[in-house]
């Protein structure tokens, strides 16, 4: 097998970092998923490692198990480009304004480079039930990841975050008025607010409290996608720090953690993650982020 160039190795590490980060952030956030922030503090103090949920829930599995949305994202990655059509529901479904679309379609940022291509793939794969807000959030996350994967060698410094987020915002704007209409705050404006909170907070506890109280931590795309952006900025794109912050945030910790850690992994790479965590998560879930990333990068255009 021919040796990869150094540049190709870095690109592969970032693409694999996005996929591995998706799984790690999901798994790290599962113990306190759905709990208020203060309940997490009272029960765990401060979550610092992969752990089991205090009360087992359906689908939890062993420590490190990723949830159904992350499994769907890995399935999309494994079947790309064959799986380019959404499944048509047997009966009409209610409009979905949650961040499920962003979670499930996150791998789109690896094979797609241009903002219009990202937006078109998101719209096509999401199906008719996704709202404009859900599509906007999904395009923003995928666009940010695409920019990070494409960044020049040596650009893992958090100073480059602004440029990556700008690419994400352009992809979100490319969605336009597509998607089921909904009444929700702007994902872009709330992401800017989350970024400001992340930059101004004097310490992590204050940051998490402000993010929880002001931006929100529900499944709604207008809350969980901006919250993930805030975590990304606060962690300075360190995926290991991002997943720990997310686990202690409260609310949809696994969803928000998955999005934030995937974006951080795309910036810093898979190698930046705590090695025992990434190895454990990939082993428990029987996935290989590197091989899937290679497959997706081969389709990048």
**pLDDT tens digit sequence for 250-267:** 999 999 999 999 999 999
Q: How confident is the model at residue 39 (pLDDT cuts 50, 70, 90)?
A: very high
Phi-psi region of 12 (alpha: psi -120 to 50; beta: other; left: phi over 0): alpha
Phi, psi (deg, nearest 5) at residue 81: -95, 10
Q: Note the pTM of the prediction, 2 decimals.
A: 0.94
Residue 3: is its pLDDT beyond 80?
no
Query: What are the domain boundaries of the chain?
Result: 7-48+68-83+97-177+184-297
Q: In angstroms, rounded to a whole number, what is the distance separating the alpha carbons of residues 54 and 51?
A: 9
Contact 67, 287 (CB under 8 A): no
CATH class of the 7-48+68-83+97-177+184-297 domain in this structure: mainly alpha
pLDDT at 1: 30
Please choose, from the candidates 273, 190, 172, the residue with its C-alpha nearest in 3D space to the C-alpha of residue 229: 190
Mean pLDDT within 160-168: 94
Q: How far apart are CA 110 and CA 112, in angstroms?
A: 6
% of the chain beyond a pLDDT of 70: 94
Sign for the pseudo-dihedral over CA of 202, 185, 130, 124: negative
Among 27-36, 85-94, 173-182, the minimum mean pLDDT is found in: 85-94
């Amino acid at each position: 097998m021919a040796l990869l160039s150094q540049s190709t190795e870095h690109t592969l590490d970032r693409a694999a970092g996005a996929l591995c980060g998706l799984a790690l952030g999901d798994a790290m956030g599962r113990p306190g998923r759905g709990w208020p922030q203060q309940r997490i503090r009272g029960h765990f103090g401060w979550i610092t490692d992969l752990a089991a949920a205090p009360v087992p829930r359906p689908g939890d599995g062993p420590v490190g198990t990723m949830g159904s949305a992350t499994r769907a994202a890995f399935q999309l990655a494994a079947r790309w480009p064959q799986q380019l059509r959404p499944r048509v529901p047997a009966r009409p479904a209610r409009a979905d304004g949650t961040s499920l679309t962003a979670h499930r379609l996150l791998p789109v940022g690896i094979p797609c480079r241009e903002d219009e291509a990202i937006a078109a793939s998101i719209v096509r794969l999401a199906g008719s039930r996704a709202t404009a807000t859900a599509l906007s959030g999904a395009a923003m996350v995928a666009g940010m990841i695409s920019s990070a994967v494409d960044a020049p060698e040596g650009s893992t410094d958090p100073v480059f975050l602004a440029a990556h987020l700008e690419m994400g915002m352009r992809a979100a704007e490319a969605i336009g008025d597509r998607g089921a209409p909904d009444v929700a705050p702007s994902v872009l404006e709330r992401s800017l607010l989350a970024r400001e909170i992340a930059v101004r907070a004097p310490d992590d506890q204050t940051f998490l409290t402000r993010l929880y109280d002001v931006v929100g931590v529900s499944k709604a795309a207008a809350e969980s996608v901006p919250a993930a952006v805030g975590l990304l900025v606060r962690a300075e794109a360190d995926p290991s720090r991002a997943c720990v912050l997310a686990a202690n945030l409260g609310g949809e910790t696994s969803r928000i953690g998955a999005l934030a850690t995937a974006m951080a992994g795309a910036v810093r790479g898979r190698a930046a993650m705590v090695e025992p965590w990434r190895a454990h998560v990939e082993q428990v879930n029987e996935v290989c982020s590197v091989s899937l990333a290679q497959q997706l990068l081969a389709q990048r255009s």
